[in-house]
Structure 1
Amino acid sequence: MNVSPQIALVLAAQAGDQAAFETLAGAYRRELLVHCYRMLGSLSDAEDQVQETLLRAWEKRATLTSPQSYRAWLYRIATNLCLNRLRSVSRRSLPSDLSSPSKPGDIFPPGKSGGLVQEPVWLEPFPDELLVDQYSNPEDQALRQEQISLAFLVALQHLTPVQRAVLLLREVLEWKAAEVAEWLDLSVPAVNSALQRARQTLHQHYQENGSETSVVQLRPQLQNLLDRYMTLWQQADVPGLVALLREDAWLTMPPFPAWVAGRMDIATLLQFRVFIPGRQWRLQPTHANGCPAFGLYRREVGEESYRLSGLWVLGVEGEQISSIVAFLDVASFTAFGLPSTIEREAGGQEA
């Protein structure tokens, strides 16, 4: 009887072959990470849950009765670990989903940091590099980017943990209702009911709030927009930057629990709170949550290098920027591979 290479690996792992198990873990680690991130809204928490999933899969390898269902078995373990985690943590979101717009001065008053909310209540960014799949077509890649966007993540936070799990397993991963019911210890009618309620909640959320960010594909017009944004930022050209924004654009900067809306307030925030005299900036392009992004580096007077200070994720609609989510928790940027500092260019006068 011929056994596929995949089944052979599973059988070897069940027999205690750690090398075979590591091969399996490597094959599924990335997609499990994306699933756990969608469930939790935190890359760091997702990494912990994937590690725990693989540890349990190794410890309980003898309990797997259907080697051909190994992937589904891993998802079952990961989903239930995430549900357990969600029982003890607050839901994560963005300031723009929790309150009305603020005045620019409310974002970070000069010399004060008391407004920071450092508890784990904010969504964390996810590097697009971890989404790359060389075998998927452009349509599949675009769908995957939509399903990792900040808009989708924010909407998911309005679902109960079980509704979130059912929606992801049924509609994103396309598992059958009977399988999901077995994994979550629910009846099939209960799964269908949870899915219906999840769809209704998402629909209502999008109707009331619209998209938080736009997923875009690189094209000449977009690259031109990003090049202009990068140049204008490094020149501290606030009028030029504001001209790239939609009239109804908005900006938020977690962990500050506030946000501003409209070109005028964004311009004020940039002018008086960001581009202060003596401060210089450099940007490094990257991608996060299906959107263009920049690692932002700041150099104060007297410093020899630029230090990583934020990750700015841009939502783009048409040829304008519709939203900016500026993540300021540098500790959450490790997976992006951004250097902690950029050296100042030798010689010459900098902008």
Structure 2
Amino acid sequence: MEMSTQTALVFAAQAGDQNAFEALVSAYRRELLVHCYQMLGSFHDAEDLVQETLLRAWEKRTTLTSPASYRAWLYRIATNLCLNRLRSAPRRSLPTQTHPGSDPNSPSPQRVREPIWLEPFPDDLEASQHSDPQDRAERNERTTLAFLVALQRLTPAQRAILLLREVLEWPASEVAEWLNLSVAAVNSGLQRARRALQECNSPSEKETALPIPQFQSLLDRYVTSWEQADIPGLVALLREDAWFTMPPLPVWLQGRAAIATELSTRIRVPGRHWRLLPTRANGSPAFGLYRQEAQADSYQLFGLMVLGVVEGQIANMVTFLELSSFSSFALPPTLPYVREHI
């Protein structure tokens, strides 16, 4: 937004013009959503906090003295609201971080419905969707599940410092003022956060870009294997050390053999059929997973599957089974019965 336009809108909003306020904040709504999501690990909590941020911005609009710093002012409000929420909210993660590896021959445990799991983020709401490919790729890396898992292991203050300093590139002096810290504390917190992220991120699991035809071929074979209940074909697409988890079930499995055993009990059920609907989540390929039971006349939405791809193979599969956790995705609740999928 051009500075002269922003200044005019700020002054109009401060005078009580709600239309000007809406035009002003609409330019920042999506990026604030990403920021709050990174802080909280929950899409729905992030939506709530963005709404609260904008409500606070309207209520306190007359306190802003520098129209040029309006974006930074919004981030300050949003960050402080997130920090307040995190004082009582549990840390979110995936079962790979909270539970030991599972035995595929053991009975499945009960779902853990407390708000401790990461929620997926729909790519079509990412703030960078109209930016250039390089910028979009960098921003996508900051919403991957791997980045979110690592980020949630930081303290809330370290999380805020890292995002404000490294991602948004604000000066240490401003971040210190916002968070009521000294500049030395901000710099120290940033160094600790960087070290923690380096310890969490394994170079062998870093997602790598494939040529588009090769990437699409991999995804097509994945879909075909699921829909034809072809366990050997599906396992052949996995890395030897691939892992698979299904929150809110507190289980995860690693290795082709364990995953093959698990999927065999879930896919190869008499009368059960599957369809996959492509989408995007957390900067990664994803699929709405639909299940049809015997005699049913449609496929019911069953889960959202997010894939991590490394060096031309699938390195991890995270299947979110709680429908409410991905209700923001444009996935229909049912798909029509298609005979050729039998």
TM class, shorter-length: over 0.9
By how many angstroms is 1:303 displaced?
1.2
How do residues 130-141 of structure 1 correspond to structure 2 at under 5 angstroms? 130-131=125-126, 133=128, 135-141=130-136
Name the % identity.
64
Task: State the alpha-carbon separation in 2 of the partners of residues 44 and 55 from structure 1.
Answer: 17
> Given the alignment of the two structures, is residue 266 of structure 1 paired with residue 259 of structure 2, yes or no?
yes
Residue 292 (structure 1) aligns with? 285
Deviation (angstroms), 1:132: 5.4
AA in 2 matched with 1:98: T
The match for 2:274 among 268, 271, 281 is: 281
Q: CA-to-partner distance for each residue in 1:100-120, whole Å, 9 max, x for gaps?
A: 3111134x53xxxx5210000
Q: Deviations over 1:56-101 (max 9, x none)?
A: 0000101111111000000000000000000011100001122331
- Which runs of structure 2 are paired with 1:300-339 in the superposition (5 Å)? 300-339=293-332
Between the aligned partners of 1:130 and 1:119, the Cα distance in structure 2 is 26
Structural mapping, 1:80-99, within 5 Å? 80-99=80-99
The 2-side partners of 1:337 and 1:291 are apart by 16
Aligned partners of 2:278 and 2:286 also within 8 Å? yes
CA RMSD between the two structures: 1.7
Counterpart residue identity of residue 306, structure 1? Y
Cα distance change of structure 1 residues 147 and 214 upon mapping to structure 2, 3 Å threshold = same
Q: Which residue of 1 aligns with 2:138?
A: 143
Aligned mates of 2:276, 2:213 — CA distance in 1: 20
List 4+ stretches of structure 1 deviating above 4 A.
215-218
TM-superposition CA deviations, 1:131-159 (whole Å, max 9, x none): 25355222111110111111110001111
Match of 1:188 among 158, 178, 183: 183
Tell me whether 1:69 sits opposite 2:69 in the alignment: yes
Counterpart residue number, 1:173: 168
Residue 194 of structure 2 corresponds to 199
Instruction: Give 3-state SS (helix, strand or coil) of 1:141's partner.
Output: helix
State the Cα distance separating 1:216 from its structure 2 match: 4.3
In structure 2, give the amino acid aligned to 1:260.
L
TM-score by length of 1: 0.93
Please tell me whether the aligned partners of residues 216 and 291 of structure 1 are also in contact (alpha carbons under 8 angstroms).
no
Contact 1:145 / 1:215 at 8 angstroms: preserved in 2? no
Output the CA distance in 2 between the equivalents of 1:63 and 1:165.
Answer: 23
* Inter-CA distance 191–292: structure 2 relative to 1 (3 Å threshold): same
Tell me the distance in 1 between the aligned counterparts of 2:51 and 2:263: 40
Aligned residue for 1:163?
A: 158
Q: Whole-Å Cα distance in 1 between the matches of residues 183 and 231 of structure 2?
A: 55
Q: Residue 126 of structure 1 is aligned with which of 110, 121, 126? A: 121
Give the secondary structure class of the aligned counterpart of 2:28: helix
C-alpha deviation, 1:3, in angstroms: 7.2
CA contact (8 A) 2:150 2:200 kept: yes
Match in the other structure for 1:104: 104
Question: Which residue matches 1:27?
Answer: 27
**Which residue of structure 1 aligns with residue 56 of structure 2?**
56
Task: After superposing the two structures, state which structure 1 stretch, 221-230 or 123-132, moved more.
Answer: 123-132
Change (3 A) 1:141 1:129: same
2:148 and 2:209 map into 1 onto residues whose CA distance is 16
**For the residues of structure 1 that align with 2:204 and 2:113, how far apart are their CA atoms?**
27
Segments of 5+ residues of structure 2 without an aligned counterpart are: none
Do the aligned residues in 1 keep the contact of 2:307 with 2:315 (CA within 8 Å)?
Answer: yes
Equivalent residue pairs, number: 341
Q: Which runs of 5+ in 1 are unaligned?
A: none
Change (3 A) 1:325 1:3: closer
What are the Cα deviations for residues 186-228 of structure 1, in whole angstroms up to 9, with x where unaligned?
A: 1111111111111111112225x964x7264671100010011
Aligned mates of 1:125, 1:19 — CA distance in 2? 32
